[in-house]
Structure 1
Amino acid sequence: MPGSFRVARLFGIEIRIHISWVVIFGLVFFSLWNDVFPSQYPFWSDQKTLLVSAVTAVLFFCSIIAHELSHSLVARRFNMRVSSITLFLLGGVANLQQEPPSAKAEFFMAAAGPFMSVCIGGLGLGLQTLIDATDAVQLQTVAAVAGYLGFINLLLAGFNMIPGFPLDGGRVLRSIIWAIRRDRAKATGIAARGGQLVAGLFVLWALAQLTTEGAGGLWWWPILIAYFLYNAATQSLRQERLGGLVAGTRVAPLMNTTFAVADPRSTVANVVRDLMLPRSLRAVPVVANQDFLGLMTSDDVRKIDHDRWATTPVEEVMTRSADLPKLAPDDDLGQALARFGDGTVLPVVRDGRLVGLLDRDGVLDYIRMRDLFAQGR
């Protein structure tokens, strides 16, 4: 997600924070400091309220990471690649590089996040109840934090299980329809329409807040949620339509089989000067003894200082083959679209040897032409 930066790495998955996350963190912290804890514990000092609010806000977002990490680990169990988890304005998102391969995979992946939130919620409320029952005054702060985290995580689980795509509940709904009708495209259409309907309900909720005296302070929040849901659901419908346009098309006819390669011992400066600039290449495959080692992309080049280009070998900068999503010549073009992720070029490999490159812009041009001809029929 543009505008995000890495803060950690768990189980091989990058944890990233988008700049918009600062807004939601500030709102959560402010509500705890200004309203939640002062109303429940008015005898706390200002310093204690401030500190406990900050710690609770951080733990809340740790629980969101746990929610998204559950999605990610289950996705990897079903051989889906997960590039990162990003915290942003509306919570968190696990960035998958491909769609679920089956209804079963999507069901368990989608349900894993809310299940984790329910577990955290139950643990928090249980801990609070236990401390309150023992009347342990010295653990009052722990009970306050646990109670808030318990409540908010159960609320998070309930919100995410709303049956509107791409919320977890919408994905669960799609997986069930997919399993029953054996048609992912139709299941996506139904779930995405559900997402658009839920977005409309959030808009009505915002309007109701505006017309209710004393309840319109955060009317813009459901509007933001509605905007996100509607756009994501509409994008899903568009992607399924594109999938229908390329159904049955293989990678081989569209891949570029005439491409320049770089030696792993060449310097970055030489490859940029001799290949990338004169040919306007965004990625150059790195090959040694006919074995495909990786790709050096423009993003890889930008990661190192310009002063080091002349002394840095390509093999130190390239994205290695093992870390790249790859295609086979006979793969379906729809699968290729799902594997591009944030990349612009995908290697096409047979028996460990590079046989072609698939360019995303070329695929999109092909789809536009197919769409144009389909409209003309």
Structure 2
Amino acid sequence: MALPLTGQSPRGLLRAEAAGGLAFLGAPVRVDVSCAFAVALTTWTLADGILPLAAEGRPATAYWSAGALTALVLLASIAAHEVAHCVAARRAGIAVLGVTLGLFGGATSLDHAPRTLRAQVGIALAGPLASLAVAGGAAIAHVALVETGGDGLAVASTAVVALANLGVAAINLLPAAPLDGGLVLHALLARLPGPPRDAAAVVARAGRALGGVILGLAVLASASGDAALGLWCAVVGLVIWEQASPAAWR
């Protein structure tokens, strides 16, 4: 999930550190501690449910190892999503102050907000396009493994990476805060007559509604006995709800 591209990090997110650690295009990259929880949850979901169904008869260590590796690849996919935002911003002549990778998403902090509609839309859509590219690459790898009789765990893992990135791209295109589609909607609405806060309120309400729907799905999943899906929906729904703040979109 990509968050608003502004000169200030949205409320609730840690700022990128000014010195030390990773850097991209001269901008510091911070990996928030919440990434460890995301990797752990992803690993558990894969090792305890998905991978054993896709490749039966393997030792538990094989499932957990493959799950952990796949989770790290998915984290790298999130980084690629944010890198695409950075590259698009630099091409638009905007300095990147920092990147934060956090729980199920990232935030790119820019020196100033894009001043043209073309720049705003281009920067916002760069992330989903990168996710689609990763999904395409993983899908090609998956097909190649299937055709050559590759290892079942590798076949399943590449499918997970492809589907997850396809889902990230699709969800981020929804016109709601704090998603990339919300950035596009905000850019369009901000150019209509009326104060900027009206555009912020619309995308924020859409984000709160989306978060509420996902939380509702969490309840349904838990009631049906799917603990993993329920936990995933609960965490994602809460993150979207909390980050869909009108203040972050003004």
User: TM-score by structure 2 length?
Assistant: 0.80
Give 1:54 deviation, angstroms: 2.3
Asked whether 1:49 is paired with 2:63, we answer yes
| CA displacement 1:56-100 (0-9 Å, x = unmatched) | 111111111000110111122223232222222232222234322
1:128 aligned partner: 142
Higher strand share: 1
2:172 aligned partner: 160
- Partners of 1:202 and 1:95 in 2: how far apart? 27
2:10 aligned partner: none
User: What secondary structure does 2:217 align onto?
Assistant: helix
- Partners of 2:46 and 2:235 in 1: how far apart? 21
Asked whether 1:169 is paired with 2:181, we answer yes
| CA displacement 1:109-151 (0-9 Å, x = unmatched) | 1111111111111221122123323xx2356554333222111
Asked whether 1:189 is paired with 2:211, we answer no
| CA displacement 1:41-62 (0-9 Å, x = unmatched) | 1133444333322221111111
1:93 aligned partner: 107
1:271 aligned partner: none
- Partners of 1:52 and 1:138 in 2: how far apart? 14
1:208 aligned partner: 220
Asked whether 1:39 is paired with 2:50, we answer no
Asked whether 1:229 is paired with 2:240, we answer yes
Distance 1:38 1:138, change over 3 A: same
User: TM-score by structure 1 length?
Assistant: 0.56
- Partners of 1:218 and 1:37 in 2: how far apart? 15
- Partners of 2:84 and 2:184 in 1: how far apart? 15
- Bigger Cα displacement from structure 2, 212-221 vs 111-120: 212-221
Higher helix share: 2
Distance 1:219 1:30, change over 3 A: closer
Number of equivalenced pairs: 236
Give 1:26 deviation, angstroms: 0.5
2:159 aligned partner: 147
Q: Which runs of 4+ in 1 moved over 6 A?
A: none
**Structure possessing the higher relative contact order (Cα contacts under 8 Å, 6 or more residues apart):** 2
Identity %: 24
| CA displacement 1:245-267 (0-9 Å, x = unmatched) | xxxxxxxxxxxxxxxxxxxxxxx
- Partners of 1:114 and 1:200 in 2: how far apart? 23
User: What secondary structure does 1:69 align onto?
Assistant: helix
2:39 and 2:68 in contact (8 A); partners too: no
Instruction: After TM superposition, list the pairs within 5 Å mapping 1:1-377 onto structure 2.
Output: 1-2=13-14, 7-133=21-147, 136-138=148-150, 142-179=154-191, 184-210=196-222, 212-215=223-226, 219-236=230-247, 240=250
Distance 1:201 1:142, change over 3 A: closer
- Partners of 1:15 and 1:180 in 2: how far apart? 35
2:7 aligned partner: none
- Which runs of no fewer than 5 residues in structure 2 stay unpaired? 1-12
Larger Rg: 1
User: What secondary structure does 1:106 align onto?
Assistant: helix
Give 1:17 deviation, angstroms: 1.2
Distance 1:223 1:143, change over 3 A: closer
